[in-house]
Amino acid sequence: MGKRQGPLQGIRIIDLTTLYPGPLATMILADLGAEVVRVEHPNHPDPIHYLPPFSGNESVAYFALNRSKRSLALDIRREEGRSVFFDLVKKADVVVEQFRPGVLDNMGIGYGAAASFNPQIIYLSLTGFGQDGPYSRKAGHDINYISMAGLLSLVKQEDEIVLPGFQVADVAGGSYMAIIGCMAALWRREKNGKGERVDVAMTDAVLPLLTLQLAQQWGAQGPDSPINLLDGSFAFYGVYRCSDGKPVSLGALEPKFWINFCRMVGREDWMPRQFSTGEEGRGLRKEVGSLFKEKTRKEWLELAEAHDACLSPVHELADIENDPHLRSRQMIIEMDCGEGVNLKGIGLPIKFSGSQPDAPDPAPGVGRDSVEILDEIGYSPGRIEELIKQGIVYAASRAVSEEKVKKEETGWP
């Protein structure tokens, strides 16, 4: 235990989560040095295993979300499995779970039961709507959380709402807030020695993304709606197509950057028109758009190198790995996942000067570490073998074949 280096070295986390937000949170915590024991059911593992595409016999999504962890395949629905779980809790710092409210309590392994074995345990529950409130037991996904929190209403093309092509609530509201909640609870326990329940609701947690917009909404005077400077309607902040059809983003929000941009393109007459609205503003937006069509994206970016004008390329996903800045920041990494599988991944987005984390380890096969983990918490070889024979524990790598993935019960396309 505690073999990985990093600022969280020595912190032990039991990971009961599945799919996206929870596993991403615990993966980052593992990258930071925590020992994360991923607990999956021996016969019903995380559905992410069945999500295409595959590399070898495993989903690339599983590889991407579960690196640097250890795997224990344990049936926590059976009494013997719950006993093993509580023995893990005794030596753990944090449990992270992602079930609907009440599910783990009904199974007998909720926070109250865990705290009776380890009063210092931090039990972090990650859900869509929280542990209480009228919607607490509702099912939902990212689209539902950002809809209710008001974010989706701001993502429009003309008057049509457009879905973002990525999960805002799962990551910003789920994964990141779970990490923050975990860190805050660990620090509180460091001071007073007490564990606690941490309730993270993704709907709650995306609301801070609208802090400025809601402040403007609630503070607006009179019948006029507050002006949104960042919705693409103003010339200084938006996306433009160049002569080769490739897009750039202009973020000249502060007047100094707009002035730099106007000087760069030789249109100083635009300077006083930065915040023009109505027909004048729309006209300026069209003029700037026409200007960008006079040069290729490469030409515009080369010109912007000598000016502080907040001009950037709009990368496609395939472009990201070749960006020299992201490469220099070690944000694109390559991992040997075993069996000849090499995959790219996203690096740790936080850098440290004095507690350098280890390079990520590949994601474990289901049950890869079962025997070692049980040995570490004091189980004898005979007891481990007994649990394996009873089907309480699975203790070998588990490959998921494409044939199994195609079965209808997986639910994935």
State the catalytic residues.
141, 170
Alpha carbon distance, N-terminus to C-terminus of the chain: 38
DSSP letters, 8-53, are TTT-EEEE---TTHHHHHHHHHHHTT-EEEEEE-SSS--GGGGPSP
Token digits for 131?
């542990």
Q: How big, in percent rounded to 5, are the helix, strand and coil portions of the chain? A: 40, 15, 45
Alpha-carbon gap, residue 155 to 394, rounded angstroms:
46
Token digits for 134?
């009228």
Token digits for 136?
């607490």
The CA-based diameter of the chain, rounded to the nearest angstrom, is 84
Pairing of strands 12-15, 94-97: parallel
Helix (H, G, I), strand (E, B) or coil at 124: strand
Alpha-carbon gap, residue 332 to 342, rounded angstroms:
13
DSSP letters, 147-208, are HHTTSGGG-EETTEE---SS-HIIIIIIIHHHHHHHHHHHHHHHHH---EEEEEEHHHHHGG
Token digits for 268?
């100083």
8 A C-beta contact, residue 89 and residue 118? yes
Q: What is the DSSP letter of 51?
A: P
- A 10 A CB-CB count for 116 gives 11
Angle at 125 (CA atoms; ends 390, 150), nearest 5 degrees: 135
8 A C-beta contact, residue 34 and residue 11? yes
Alpha-carbon gap, residue 40 to 57, rounded angstroms:
18
Token digits for 137?
């037991």
Alpha-carbon gap, residue 93 to 20, rounded angstroms:
22
